[in-house]
Amino acid sequence: MIEINGNIVKLSNSRISYSIFVSPNRKIAAHLHFGRKGDFDPKEVLGRYQYNFQLRVGEGFEAVDSLYDGYSPVELGSYLRMDLRPASIIVRQGDSRLTDFRVKEIKKEAPRFPAYWPTPKGYKDLEWLCLVYEDIARPGLKAKGYYAIYEEYDVLLKATEIVNETGIDAYVEKLSASSIDFPSDKFELEHYIGGWGWERRIERFPLHHGGISLSSYEGRSGHAENPYFCLHGKEGSFGFNLIYSGQVENEITLIPAGVARVSQCIGGPGLDYRLAPNESLLSPLAVLSYGEDEEKLIQTNHRYIQERILPESRYKGIEPIVFNSWEGAMMDFDTLPGIEDDRLNALITAFGQNTLLNVTVVGLDELFLVFPI
């Protein structure tokens, strides 16, 4: 469910909520809450970050717009402006990289669902929130932040789109599918550093001040660094996944003001994506999950992945076994059909003699066979 109540926007199901506050004057989208369902007063959440953001007025000082975006938790971090944390988006035009998006419109609108968005079944039927931003220094350079929440899962979907309506070329140097600031500094970070034959190698440690990058720069994601990671804190456990097979860079930054920024980016260093006039670039899909504790987060992730991410089996519910010949039979046979390797034929025969199994051999390439069971 999506509720738009003045400057406060809330996505919720019966258990969790995600809340955003748009400041009335400067139109900055501030992050209020993600987690257990509730209502949150912007003054209470944002008040402690305002102590040094005042302008001189006459003989005294007064706060401006009640929001200091250098420290405050925001939805879209600027670049070369007030924000003291890594930017969510960097766009270059000419010699300028100054990027500062402000909210222009709040509406319910679904993204265009590109072909590179994968299999999550049912996301096209969700109700989507769209925050439309425009760069204050470059009219026509826009960003769209998309959000959707499931009723049956404690899962939030996010994506970001850059739209170039400036009339000249723009170059995207950084794009976060999701950027979220947590008004808390008591987290433990857990991620899977991977390795050959050790894909589920877990590393977990307290989050300290400064920045951490969990990245894969080899042109793809994979066992060397799983794109999934999670944060565990007193308010619950939070999971982050980017459904993308290319280069990824997950940034986790903690500043002394007590705000942790988590950004899920594509491309990494060297990204320089050209947007001609009237072109746009939509990020991959980010999946954010929540659990009141670690066990519930794991249960949420498993259920969502099994029911929404994994594609339906071509074998109508009969799951396949993938036989990896590289590690099993090495390279002693040729491509299908016409396999002559005695060991492999013996294995196929053994499967076929089991009357409980309807064995079909499918050649994926010269290294893999599939035995549905």
* pLDDT digits 0-9 by tens, 44-83: 777 766 544 444 455 654 555 556 667 788 899 888 877 8
Cα(270)–Cα(120) distance, integer angstroms = 30
* Residue 84 domain-assigned (yes or no): yes
CA 227/CA 244 separation, integer angstroms? 8
- Same domain for 335 and 225: no
Residue 343: domain span: 320-372
The reply to whether 48 and 24 lie within a common domain is yes
Tell me whether residue 315 is in a domain: no
85-131 pLDDT, tens digit each? 889 999 999 888 999 999 999 999 999 888 888 766 768 889 999 99
Q: Which residue has the tokens 């969502």?
A: 304
**Confidence band for 359, pLDDT divided at 50, 70 and 90:** very low
In a domain, 99, yes or no: yes
Question: Which of 274, 290, 309 is where one domain is finished?
Answer: 309
What pLDDT is stored for residue 334 in this prediction?
Answer: 47
Q: Domain for residue 314, yes or no? A: no
CA distance 358 to 373: 7
Q: Do 291 and 363 lie in a common domain?
A: no
- Considering the domain architecture, whether residues 182 and 74 belong to the same structural domain is answered as yes
Nearest CA-CA partner of 89 in 113, 15, 81: 81
Asked if 297 and 366 sit in the same domain, the reply is no
Same domain, 256 and 358: no
207 and 267 together in one domain: yes
239 in the same domain as 217: yes
Are 139 and 279 found together in one domain? yes
Top pLDDT among 182 and 195 is at 182
Is 347 among the domain residues? yes
Same structural domain for residues 215 and 355?
no
Number of compact structural domains in the chain:
2
